[in-house]
Structures are given as structure tokens and as C-alpha cells.
Amino acid sequence: MPEFLQIFLTGLAGAVIFALFDYFGFNISLKRKWADYTHRNKYRTAQLLFHILLTLLLFVFTGWQTALIMNIIWWTWGCDFVFYLFCEIFNIGNDRGNFRKEVLSNSVQWAWWTPYGLLFTGKGKTIKFIILLTQFIFGILISIFISII
């Protein structure tokens, strides 16, 4: 396998692992009533620590490019896109909002931390699905470029 492809796929795998952690972790936090959406949210603290640990592991064992690729995919809404795909695939207990309900209906109001959100909207403002998808595709393209350099 060409080295650039291995670098890209490793970073992408990191993003998928993070999304899987997010899917199961968030569903567990809902069941345990940890999803209180405050600054002291237990799940968000665990999620942040996992994100840092995963980034460090990628950096140490596979290099800066894979760690950067995973974080670019995360920042451009890629991990959330995969999270919602997991919601569609698993739909455990039918207790979590799904891709059609929250994303395709243009109801995403929490993506303010993405590049588009920081540049053009604000916290609590809705970002349409086509913009989120376009941003995610740009993140993948940038990630491919990083894997080649």
C-alpha cells in the first residue's frame, strides 16, 4: 500500500474510532442522565480526554500527519457525520436523534465550533446540511493533501 494512502487511512480510522466512542459514550450518558449540557458535563469531559489521548497515540505511533488528519476530519464535522451514520445503522433503543431527524432536516445548531460555524454563524445558529457536508468533503480533501506532503 502506498505510504500516503496508509497515512490517510490511519487518520481516517482515528476519526471513525472517535465517532464510535462518541456514539456509544453519548448514548450511555443519556441513559445515566450525564447529558446535562453544562460546562461540567461528565461525558464531554471524558470525550475531551479520549480525543486528546487518541491524538497523542496517533502522533506518537504513526506521526504528526495522521494525528492532524484525524483532527481536521473532526473539526470539519466528519466525526459528527459518522456519528449520525452510526445512529442510523445501530439505532439502539430508538432513543437518540437520527440523521434524518437532526441533520437532513437542517436542525443542527451545535456545529458553531466548525470552520464554517466560527466564520459565518455563532453558537446556537443553524447550519444547513449541505454546508456541513461541503465542509466535511473539504476536510477529506485537505486530509488527502496532508497525507501526500
Give pLDDT tens digits for 110-147.
899 999 999 999 888 999 999 999 999 999 999 999 99
pLDDT of residue 97: 59
Q: Per-domain residue ranges for the chain?
A: 3-148
- Quote the pTM value: 0.90
Kindly give the confidence (pLDDT) of every residue in the chain, 149 residues in length, as a single tens digit, with 9 standing for 90 and above: 899 999 999 999 999 999 999 998 888 887 887 666 666 778 888 999 999 999 999 999 999 999 999 999 999 999 999 998 888 788 765 656 567 778 888 989 989 999 999 999 988 899 999 999 999 999 999 999 999 98
Nearest to 138 by CA among 62, 57, 81, 85: 81
pLDDT of residue 43: 85
Check residue 122 and give left, alpha or beta (phi > 0: left; psi -120 to 50: alpha): beta
Cell numbers standing for residue 98: 437520527
